[in-house]
Structures are given as structure tokens and as C-alpha cells.
Structure 1
């Protein structure tokens, strides 16, 4: 297995006059509507005044990589820092009792709650990865029993972050809808069930330094996401990698950047046009890595499948059956064929 090191790309700019979607070489390719080809995962500047160019960049990144980062996304840097601060404070509480107070109940079929996963490497050395899940939206799905009470500002910060991330997700999904030749609201309404029905779940993952060999221990095994869209920020410790062209690529850390990952349902909704990227997370031997992940998914009874209309007159044919999201989850969890 080959791991390729990729250079850091600094594309953060407050200037609205400079087209800063990608590094200069890639901008020229996008403007000519050529295929974006780079050893670096796309980083897109949402402040660019040419929104058509921004939209095309989002669509191309989703088609060719299935992952991209966005900067200048209007989520305040201070809010992201607060989100990271309260999450870190919870996981570093000295009192295990306070963590167990929001623990996932034993035998619960719901994913919400605090959990600890024990992992072993080939030499039976043990490491742990802690996670906290709780729904952010819609209100009918929110259960504050699984929201930490300490630190006390945890709820306020997460609810404010949820408001911003929903607006950003709808903007990205709007561009992806138009990239399929559909109206701007198609994916959010027809794919995910409409604004007040789309489920947003917060997942915070805490990877302490691993005692085993870091290159042998994976925090998360290679997988594609069961959820429709994954929206994440991390601390400064790298570890997220994506698979493309028979190689693993590091997702470089850019302060305050938001990472988007295309999941299985979007692959189905787009009839395979958007890539559900294979990715994994590695652990660090010396430093703690954390990630704050918002999972965007339809309700379990929502039908997912290609959203485009197929006339049968030589047009592209549907590649996926229409199934409920619950059936998709059940089949993937049980390693059954999806079609």
C-alpha cells in the first residue's frame, strides 16, 4: 500500500477580486472546463465572487474525488474554536461519571450517546477511541440526555454551530443539485426529505495517542460513509486519508477549513455521478487527534435512488434501485448487496 505525501496548499484569502478556488494552475483548468487533475485534495474558496465557478468546482470535486475542503465559508472562526474547546473539555473531564451520564445505553439500537471502542493491533497492544453522538436537528430527533452538561456552554455552542452548518450544507447541496441538471432544492427536498426533516447528527471522535505502532493501527477502518453527506473539522493533528487512483492521500489540515465527504446515499441520488469516497483515519503515537463530524442523512423511511428522469430514448439508464434509507443502512451494516 502506497501512501503519498502531498504538500500544504494555502488558498485562504480575504480578497474578493482574486479567483482563489484552487491554486492557480487548477483554476485555469476549471475555467476551461477541463478535468481537474491534482495530487492535492481540492480546496475551494467560497468567498469568490464568481459563484458559477465556485459551483462548478464543487461539482467537479464531488465527481472526481468525493471529498473537498472549503474555506471562507461564513462559519465564524471563533465559533469553530468554541466548538472544539467545549468538545475537548468534555473528553478530558477527570470524572468518568460525568461521561457515563451521557453514555449510550447498553443494547440500544440508537447511535446516540458516549461510547468507548477498544482496538488491538497485530501484537495485541490495546488502544481506545472514544466517541460522542447526539442529534442536532430536527427538534423531534434531539434528545438532550446525550448532550454533556459539563462544560455548561456545550449546548449553546453546538446549537449555534448547527444553525451555521445547516445553511452551509444547503448551499453545497444546491450546487450539487444544479450539477445534476436539477433545480436548486432537489437534493435537499427530494433526496433528504426537506428542510425540517433532514437529520443532522454530531459525532465527536477522540483519538488518544496510541501505544502501538501508529502505522499499524487505524482509528477508523477504510469505508465509505453510510450517511449522505459528512461535514467535519479537526484539530491540528492530521490523520484523515482518502483513496484515489490506487493511492492513499492525506487530507491536509487547514485552520478553520470545513471538509465535505460524499456518502453512499448521494452516490445513489446522483446515479453514480458523485463519488462516495473510500477513506480512513490513522492514529498518532504522540498526540491526541479529535474530529467534529456532522452527519447529514434522510429519515429512515425516505426513499433514496436516482433523482433524474430517464426517458429510455438512449438516455442514461438508472444504475441503482430505489430503496428506503433504512434498507440501505440494514444492508450495509450486515454486509449484504445493496442492489
Structure 2
């Protein structure tokens, strides 16, 4: 059962001085006519239904299944170690997490508890608004902006009246830039290599999505989000204290347990392409439950839509041939938008 969502997209990161750059569309020339009606999942759930509408019931072969390794944990990394005597060890931890998991949690990342709580609070209050108020920010079949429930697209919404969210995005973007530098250096590339490959300070893409997963009466029949890898670069996610995110590890699924004030980081397909498969984007999914609602704030740090992305030349040699085609991020995600989420089949 797809989550209710409110989303935005900014074409660039924040400047080094921390001032947000203007929001502008990446796809004003390429908007797609979506044939399906917008589903208000939150409203359906609030009716107190006992059975899922047929629209949301997955075929048997597509329902949540697979062995869950409840005792396994994704890596937990203290990012403050980059600035002290633990730098070498912290860089190694980041490298191992990127190669072995593609997912990890960050603590001491520079975003305060107050800011994280403020982001959660303003997001929660939006979804608590009456439907008619949320509808003022609704998306429609011709845009990717605002309140809706569709997946497989990249929506956007300018948070003109939400300065807390702008400050939250600013902090998350700084975390992304720190990680891009660390990933580059771990590959013996210049510190700014991946940032420049994304478009540099002026043109790196930044998108925001707030997901609200309502209580589901039959969670074994559907997903919050289907298994997929993220098409972009680096994803920074903040969840509430309700578990639901699961990461694929071989033939198993590993729950991502909430850690107080931690940010969840996962690598997207563009990092796998740029590193020629040294770092992996990893399939993940979101399950729902019949007792608690779940909410997450997701920041996507992506390459500039019009910039060609391909494996770094310095990572290619006789024993490591090119594994991925070069294409723009616009081309890559436009294909995904028109075909839907399908695991890791794209990359």
C-alpha cells in the first residue's frame, strides 16, 4: 500500500555559505501525463477499513516474503571520527559499509536533535491537516509536485512556508557532501571527484520526500514500498521509532532498527555506476503493520539531470573493464518513471 507522500525537488545543493539556492524544475520540458488517478491512501486508511481495497492487494508472488535476519544489523558509523584521531578507522568503516552493504546508519553527523525533531514535527503536522488543506498542495497527473501517493516518480514541492524543512535539508546536504568526499578518497580519487561528477556545487540535484505509512489492516498482502534500489546518488533518511525499512543481504532481508538521532544512508545506482561496481546500490523495501503508523523524511542527493554519468576512468583497467553504460540521470530516471519499481533490474 503505497505511502502518502509530500515531496519537493531542488536542482542544486546549497552553497558553501549555507544559503539555499532557488528551487527550479528539472523536468519542466518533460512532464509526463500519468494515466492513473491520484490515490489518497491516508484517507482510505482513516476510514477504519478492515480489508485492503483490491487495488492494493499484491499478487501472491509479489507479497512480502523471504527470510528476515532479525538479529543482523547494518553498520553504525560515528561520523565525528572523520575529525579526530579515529579518521583512518572511520574511513575504513565507511569503505567497508559501501562495499559490503550499500547501507549504514550515521550518528554524530552534525544535525542536532532539535533540528531532527523539528523536521519530524512539521512533517507529522502536515499529514494531520484536514484533507481539504492537504489538497491545496496536491500533485496532479501532469506534475511531480506535492501531496499524493504514487511511486516510481520524482515529485517536487517548494517549501515556501516551511523554513524548518529548508534548514533540515541544508544539514542533510552537508552530510551528503562530506560522504561524497570520503567515498572519493577511499577510492584514491580526488576529494571532490564524486561531487564534480554529480555536477559540482552549482548543479548537484537535491530532492525531498516525506513518506507517511498509515496503519494497514492486512500487512501481509502488500508493501509500503516495493523492493527497489534508489536510482540516484546518495539517500539520507530519517525515520520515526517504528520499524519498517528492510535491506537485502544476499537471500535475506535485514530490518533497519531505529537508532535515536541516527540518519540512514544508502547508495543509489549512480554511485554504483560511477564506481564501476566497487560500491553497490542495494535493494530495499518498506513493510507496513496493523498497529502503528510510520513516517520518514528522505533526502535524495543526485547527479545533475543533464550531466552524463559513467564509470570513473581511473577505476578502469585490464582487470576492471567498463561494466555500465554512460547516460544522463534524466534518461535513467525517465525510464524508471515509465516502467515502475522493479528491484535492481535497471542498473
State the TM-score, normalized to the length of structure 2: 0.74
Q: Which residue of structure 1 aligns with residue 24 of structure 2? A: none
* Aligned counterparts of 1:318 and 1:324: Cα–Cα separation in 2: 17
Q: Which residue of structure 2 aligns with residue 9 of structure 1? A: none
Q: Secondary structure at the match of 1:271?
A: coil
Structure 2 residue 74 is matched with structure 1 residue 68: no
Q: Which residue of structure 1 aligns with residue 79 of structure 2? A: 46
RMSD: 2.2
More strand by percentage:
1
Deviations 1:69-128 (A, max 9, x none): 0001110010000000000000011x21221111113332xx2211035xxxxxxxxxxx
Structure 1 172/53 Cα, relative in aligned 2: closer, same or farther at 3 Å? same
In the TM superposition, residue 226 of structure 1 has moved relative to its aligned partner by 1.1
* Aligned counterparts of 2:74 and 2:305: Cα–Cα separation in 1: 32
Q: Residue 242 of structure 1 contacts residue 250 of structure 1 at CA under 8 Å; is this kept in 2?
A: yes
Q: Which residue of structure 1 aligns with residue 211 of structure 2? A: 205
Higher relative contact order (Cα pairs below 8 Å, separated by 6+ residues): 2
Q: Secondary structure at the match of 2:111?
A: coil
In the TM superposition, residue 319 of structure 1 has moved relative to its aligned partner by 0.9
Written as runs of structure 1 = structure 2, the 5 A alignment for 1:167-186 is 167-186=174-193
Q: Residue 205 of structure 2 contacts residue 305 of structure 2 at CA under 8 Å; is this kept in 1?
A: no
Written as runs of structure 1 = structure 2, the 5 A alignment for 1:90-109 is 90-93=126-129, 95-108=130-143
Structure 1 248/175 Cα, relative in aligned 2: closer, same or farther at 3 Å? same
In the TM superposition, residue 311 of structure 1 has moved relative to its aligned partner by 6.8
Written as runs of structure 1 = structure 2, the 5 A alignment for 1:6-17 is 6=71
Q: Residue 55 of structure 1 contacts residue 175 of structure 1 at CA under 8 Å; is this kept in 2?
A: yes
Q: Secondary structure at the match of 1:5?
A: coil
Q: Residue 309 of structure 2 contacts residue 329 of structure 2 at CA under 8 Å; is this kept in 1?
A: yes
Structure 1 44/78 Cα, relative in aligned 2: closer, same or farther at 3 Å? same
Structure 2 residue 223 is matched with structure 1 residue 218: yes
State the TM-score, normalized to the length of structure 1: 0.76
Q: Which residue of structure 1 aligns with residue 201 of structure 2? A: 195
Deviations 1:134-178 (A, max 9, x none): 36xxxxxxxx3xx375xxxxx110111122111111111111111
Structure 1 116/329 Cα, relative in aligned 2: closer, same or farther at 3 Å? closer
Q: Residue 302 of structure 1 contacts residue 325 of structure 1 at CA under 8 Å; is this kept in 2?
A: yes
Number of aligned positions between the proteins: 274
In the TM superposition, residue 299 of structure 1 has moved relative to its aligned partner by 2.1
Q: Which runs of 5+ in 1 are unaligned?
A: 7-38, 118-128, 136-143, 150-154
Q: Residue 67 of structure 2 contacts residue 252 of structure 2 at CA under 8 Å; is this kept in 1?
A: yes
Q: Residue 181 of structure 2 contacts residue 194 of structure 2 at CA under 8 Å; is this kept in 1?
A: yes
Q: Residue 67 of structure 1 contacts residue 259 of structure 1 at CA under 8 Å; is this kept in 2?
A: yes
Q: Which residue of structure 2 aligns with residue 141 of structure 1? A: none
* Aligned counterparts of 1:254 and 1:310: Cα–Cα separation in 2: 35
Q: Residue 173 of structure 2 contacts residue 301 of structure 2 at CA under 8 Å; is this kept in 1?
A: no
Q: Which residue of structure 2 aligns with residue 273 of structure 1? A: 278
Deviations 1:166-221 (A, max 9, x none): 1111111111111222011000112x101121111110000110011x23321000
